A = this chain, B = another copy of it.
Amino acid sequence: MEPKAKILFADDEPDILDIIGFNLEKEGYEVITANNGQQAFDLSKIHRPDLIILDIMMPYKTGIEVCNLLRQLPDFRDTPIVILTALNDETSHIKGLDSGADDYISKPISTKILISRINALLRRTQKDNEQKIIRIGDMVIDQNRFIVSLKDKEVSLAKKEFELLSLLAGKPGRVFLRNEILSMVWGTEVIVGDRTIDVHIRKIRQKLGIDCIKTIKGVGYKFEW
């Protein structure tokens, strides 16, 4: 079975790591474990989990520190982060949430509740990316079937073209800076030349045959019907 989502779980207590990790896997999640803060940070960058669970008291870096660091990176600005801890005082709780975490859960915690909360978080965050069908004017972009159609006439786009169009058409009118486009379509790892975007834009314009992508010189591109 396809895993529902990839979860990184960081705790320095092996017992907890085992028990909760096991239960998460039983729930259908793919689990990556880390024993300390530094490792949690490094493994996150490598594996790009869909959700991150951080214990606070860990060697090398606390969960809060890791959370702050991750939130600096564009790739992790929206990743749901759960702080899991034995500390239950008000100050820690607030500090945890203010560091950009989405949930703060005090141990001991029933595994069922933990999983339920994780489901709730993923339900919300995956819903956002789940806008599977975009409709604007005569255009329909179906992200499930990978099809773009104009007045019921199907247009076939390549993968990158499709992703680029989906990004722009996903928020019509809004201008996307070139580096936003790069990081969203190509990711931050890959480095591609500047002309690459133009060329893809050109192909899209050509294939669509209509002028719905506007250039804002010196800034970026935007979709406009």
Contacts and interface: CB of A to CB of B under 8 A. Distances in A.
Interface of A: 78, 80, 90, 93-94, 97-98, 100-104, 110, 112-113, 116-117, 119-121, 123-125, 127, 144-146, 158-159, 173-175, 216-219, 222
Given A145-B174, A159-B217, A97 B120 contact: yes
A119 B217 CA distance: 37
A124 B102 contact: yes
* A93, A97, A100, most chain B CB atoms within 10 A: A97
A126 to B, nearest CB: 12
Given A90-B110, A112-B94, A78 B127 contact: yes
* A100, A103, A124, A222, most chain B CB atoms within 10 A: A124
Contacts of A103: 103, 120
A75 to B, nearest CB: 15
A175 B144 contact: yes
Contacts of A80: 124
A28 to B, nearest CB: 16
A117 B100 CA distance: 11
A121 B104 CA distance: 12
Nearest to A121: B102
Nearest to A125: B124
Given A145-B174, A218-B158, A101 B120 contact: yes
Contacts of A145: 173-175, 222
Contact of A90 (B93, B104, B113, B173): B113
A159 B90 contact: no
B120 A102 contact: yes
